[in-house]
């Protein structure tokens, strides 16, 4: 399978294709972010990964790639709760509408798209489905979180996998959809019931432990008993000797809004590109002290002691809170241990790039399920 990566970022989709163990070749990876491209090339040196604005790609050039599959994770900021949500006025949506024109003109066999929850209520989404319908694609839509696959991280994302009606290898998985005004009833919130085990994977989906969950609540808490502890994703303490705990000013101002997790916990918040820079709503912080009280219990005591700042600060500092390191965030996004960042890419840049990336394991499962019939599995 020949793959064209659009909005390729740091190569999360490429990692997912490798994890899926399908026979594939990324023929080009296109992104405008210079730092992301340097990281991509450091990990996939044999892939053509130029700094390009997608609008500079001509129909002739894209056709020359002869790609079977187009994968894409368009900029999510126009659609996020923390973004401006003015997608029609946002220049970052322009390239996506250009890509829709390329799809209509070239009609690749397969399409894989990932974006934030909320994308499915936007005009770009409606236009995307309209193009797929007009071009005769069959498709499936999902809202999935890594929690469903045993990973202790909330990263609920919208996924769409599509197959041209002319392809027989995968068409059985993609029921034709009637184009209507909502499409809301076609978005699945659990993994496919016929999802085959990913080779070498022992997640709860592959082991069949979560098949009975068909209508999860909005927090997906039914999956927590099947998630691994956060401690499985942490790096050795020595690697954090240069990382300070959250300072007094940060604790004083933001303690009441922190999402505090312990190594033994089975859930953490979604990490965004603003993590470590902004505090509220960008990801969890880690409690490193073995305190018998949980963050929630200490937070309750903090509120009780609001007239006594010294007591409040003592309560907050006893937890020894720190940010997750970029390698730990990468682990929770299921990037392989062999994945590296160039030394001159700073911690802040790494976090920003990871915040814009995908969960590799979730995408790998969808690739293996949706497109395994087209591409023979590797035997080596």
- Positive or negative: CA dihedral 270, 273, 275, 279: negative
Based on its alpha-carbon atoms, the radius of gyration of the chain, rounded to whole angstroms, reads: 21
- Is residue 333 within 8 A of residue 275, CB to CB? The reply is no
Whole-angstrom Cα distance, residue 316 to residue 302? 8
Instruction: Identify the bridge partners of residue 25 per DSSP, sorted by sequence position.
Output: 2
C-beta atoms surrounding 243 within 10 Å:
11
Whole-angstrom Cα distance, residue 36 to residue 7? 10
Beta strand pairing call for 321-323 and 285-287 = antiparallel
DSSP helix/strand/coil, 9: coil
Q: Which long-range contacts (CB under 8 A, 24 or more apart) does 277-280 make?
A: 277/348, 277/351, 279/250, 279/253, 279/254, 280/254
CA nearest 326: which of 307, 305, 341?
Answer: 341
Query: Would you state the structure tokens that stand for residue 284, as one six-digit string?
Result: 């969890």
The H or E element containing residue 329 is helix 326-332
Q: SS3 letters for 38-94? A: HHHHHHCCCCCCCECCHHHCCHHHHHHCCCCEEEECCCCHHHCCCCCCCCCCCHHHH
Whole-angstrom Cα distance, residue 186 to residue 142? 8
Query: Would you state the structure tokens that stand for residue 228, as one six-digit string?
Result: 């691994």
Question: How far, CA to CA in Å, does 273 sit from each of 78, 233, 258, 282, 370?
Answer: 14, 19, 17, 8, 29
| List 15, 76, 203, 270, catalytic entry | 76
206 is catalytic: no
Q: In what order do the strands lie in the sheet with 321-323?
A: 260-261, 285-287, 321-323
By annotation, the residues acting in catalysis are: 76
């Amino acid at each position: 399978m020949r793959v064209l990566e659009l909005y390729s970022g740091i190569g999360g989709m490429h990692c997912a294709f490798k994890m899926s163990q399908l026979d594939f070749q990324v023929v080009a990876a296109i992104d405008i972010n210079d730092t992301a491209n340097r990281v991509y090339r450091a990990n996939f040196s044999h892939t053509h990964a130029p700094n390009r604005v997608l609008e500079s790609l001509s129909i002739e050039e894209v056709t020359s790639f002869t790609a079977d599959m187009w994968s894409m994770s368009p900029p999510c900021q126009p659609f996020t709760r923390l973004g401006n949500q003015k997608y029609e006025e946002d220049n970052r949506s322009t390239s996506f509408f250009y890509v829709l024109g390329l799809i209509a003109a070239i009609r690749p066999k397969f399409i894989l798209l990932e974006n934030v929850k909320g994308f499915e209520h936007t005009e770009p989404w409606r236009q995307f489905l309209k193009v797929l319908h007009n071009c005769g694609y069959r498709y499936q839509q999902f809202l999935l979180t890594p929690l469903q696959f045993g990973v202790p991280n909330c990263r609920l994302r919208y996924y769409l996998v599509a197959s041209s009606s002319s392809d027989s290898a995968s068409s059985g998985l993609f029921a034709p959809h009637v184009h209507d005004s909502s499409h809301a009833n076609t978005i699945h919130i659990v993994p496919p019931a016929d999802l085959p085990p990913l080779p070498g994977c022992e997640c709860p989906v592959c082991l069949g432990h979560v098949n009975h969950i068909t209508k999860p609540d909005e927090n997906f808490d039914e999956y927590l008993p099947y998630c691994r502890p956060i401690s499985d994703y942490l790096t050795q303490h020595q690697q954090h000797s240069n990382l300070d705990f959250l300072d007094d000013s940060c604790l004083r101002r933001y303690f009441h809004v922190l999402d505090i997790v312990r190594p033994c916990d089975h859930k953490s918040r979604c990490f965004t590109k603003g993590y470590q820079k902004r505090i509220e709503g960008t990801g969890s912080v880690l409690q490193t002290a073995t305190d018998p009280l949980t963050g929630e219990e200490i937070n309750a005591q903090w509120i009780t002691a609001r007239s006594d700042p010294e007591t409040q600060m003592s309560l907050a500092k006893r937890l020894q809170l720190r940010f997750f390191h970029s390698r730990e965030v990468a682990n929770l996004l299921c990037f392989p241990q062999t994945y590296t960042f160039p030394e001159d890419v700073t911690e802040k840049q790494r976090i920003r790039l990871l915040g814009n990336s995908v969960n590799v394991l979730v995408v790998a499962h969808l690739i293996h399920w949706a497109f395994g019939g087209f591409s023979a599995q590797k035997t080596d």
